[in-house]
Amino acid sequence: MLSHLKNDIYIQVYLEGEIPIPLKRLKRSVGEMLDEFRIASGRKIDYEFINPSGGKDSRQRESQYQALEKKGLNPIRLETGDSEGGSSQKIIFPGMIINYNGIEVPVNFLENNQSIPYEQNILHSVEGLEYEMIQTITTLSSDTVNKVAFIEGHGEIPEIETADITFNLARFFTIDRGVIGGKPGVLDKYAAVVIAGPEKVFNESDKLVLDQYLMNGGKILWLIDEVAVNSDSLRFGTTVGLYRPLNIEDQLFRYGARINPAIVQDIECVSIRLMVMSGGTRQQAVTAPWIYYPLLQPAANHPITRNLNRVEGEFVNYIDTVGLDPAIRKTILLSTSEYSRTISPPVMISLKEAEMTPVEKDFNKSNLPVAVLLEGVFTSAFKNRIISNLTDDKNLRIRTDSKETRMIVIADADIIRNEVQRSGLNETPLPLGQDKYTGQVYGNRDFIINCLNWLVDKNGIMELRSRELKLRLLNHKIIKTEKLKWQLINIAGPVLIVMLGGFLYGYFRRKKYARN
């Protein structure tokens, strides 16, 4: 891909200045990778390392920070100590800006998975470097940009609540929204379509359009809730979960997946903030685990989910893979923890449940699938059916077996939904997957982006995410307990070996010449 670049690319890497040792290793890996890219591209790639804190004064540095954040680079704040026991905060931008034909695209390459050690995050960042850079360069230099359509007309998630993922997907795709309208072929120009949280029943005409789009090699990302829960009602303390069929169950079943109309509860979950009475008169905010918002586990062995933060779900359903068709390959992408259970609608949901301590033995189901990748040749849901009454196109001849294609089925629409901050008439979308109380970022955004990149990937770029490096860390416990021993081995050991070598050399030399 680099050998076919038509124009020059200039890359600004913001990993310069005083940075911690692990980030220096990351910087070295970035430099080595860019040197390889420069050679492979016939010297059409040039790069520069820049210190984002290199301003003359605090005002200039702050202006630089704001400019980089506005361009899309995510800062991290590190506490650094000094010799006198004090500490100071340092702002670092572990990312780069790729410039091509006047277009600037940010690339953040530092993983921020809070569930693993800092050194492991650095390792994962190095593993993903090639993918992150090649994916962006390929998208920028491509003559054509893939189109992705968000389907409307069935009560899907509003545009403002998918604004964050739309903005981030726009780095790779042209994003459209629209109604199918029962028109065969209306989706043919799209590389993939997204069906995000429909609430109304699909008619047979729209189902036929989706089916034939898939049969002709189209890719579909389904985000479906079979149980309707009004989260806004929780403000008043209770809400209700009701079964809501959408008339696409038979279609998904034919393709190899069934979304079960049941809500998953999981001990490994997100905490929510509750207002409780303190002292009888004052209300105090406390955090409590909310078992209806599970932290879903990404599969460790697939390029879509490898090295991904855990994904936050809300009122999640679960999936069964059905059928034994050898032409369809099925891969679980997201699942619950080992301590989960399900409840069937109708069900009352109360915030008082957050005050109860979950009992592990009651959560007797484990690793329930929530997202499934289906790949292969699918059988049409309209095979052996009369379709003349479903379309005005009397010349339509349906395909009964698909081309080799892919789809992903997710049993939770809220995975793609961002929160919205409302102030009067102003609506501001918040980052997808970010906890508004703790600021922790879950893997929702990366997961959706990776899903769509995998669906439309024809060149195998996503396989780069399978790269694995081994990190051999020191055992800190042994370092503390056996510190003196290893200091002696490393410092005195080499000296003793040299002395022993000198003694043996002298001994054998005297012995040899003594005979003469």
On whether residue 99 sits in a domain, the answer given is: yes
Distances (CA, A) of 364 to 103, 259, 371, 410, 448: 52, 20, 20, 22, 29
The pLDDT-based confidence of 391 (bands split at 50, 70, 90) is: confident
Q: Are residues 162 and 149 in the same domain?
A: yes
For 395-447, the pLDDT digits (tens) are 888 899 999 999 999 999 999 999 988 888 889 999 998 887 777 889 999 99
Q: Are residues 395 and 445 in the same domain?
A: yes
Of 82, 112, 140, at which residue does a domain stop? 140
Of 92, 108, 140, at which residue does a domain stop? 140
Residue 85: per-residue pLDDT: 56
On whether residue 184 sits in a domain, the answer given is: yes
Amino acid at 278: S
Q: Are residues 65 and 153 in the same domain?
A: no
Q: Are residues 461 and 327 in the same domain?
A: yes
pLDDT at residue 279 greater than cutoff 60: no
Looking up residue 52, the CATH number of its domain turns out to be: 3.40.30
Coil/strand/helix, residue 316: coil
> Sign of torsion, CA 372 375 376 377?
positive
For 53-69, the pLDDT digits (tens) are 877 788 888 888 888 88
Q: Are residues 164 and 94 in the same domain?
A: no
- Domain enclosing residue 509, as ranges: 480-515
Residue 209: which residues within 8 A CB-CB, separation 6 or more? Answer: 180, 182, 183, 184, 185, 186, 187
Residue 113: per-residue pLDDT: 64
pLDDT at residue 462 greater than cutoff 90: no
DSSP secondary structure letter of residue 2: G
Residue 173: per-residue pLDDT: 92
Residue 139: per-residue pLDDT: 85
**Domain count across the chain:** 3
Looking up residue 376, the CATH number of its domain turns out to be: 3.40.50
On whether residue 57 sits in a domain, the answer given is: yes
Q: Are residues 55 and 160 in the same domain?
A: no
On whether residue 288 sits in a domain, the answer given is: no
pLDDT at residue 17 greater than cutoff 90: no
On whether residue 473 sits in a domain, the answer given is: no
For 253-262, the pLDDT digits (tens) are 999 999 999 9
Average pLDDT over every residue of 94-115? 82
Distances (CA, A) of 358 to 213, 237, 354: 45, 19, 9
Which range in 44-48, 79-83, 487-491 is most confidently predicted, on average pLDDT? 44-48
Q: How far, in Å, CA of 512 to CA of 509, rounded?
A: 5
User: What separation, in Å, do the N-terminal and C-terminal C-alpha atoms of the chain show?
Assistant: 72
For the CA atoms of the chain, what is the radius of gyration?
28
On whether residue 268 sits in a domain, the answer given is: no
pLDDT at residue 468 greater than cutoff 70: no
Q: What is the pTM of this model?
A: 0.82
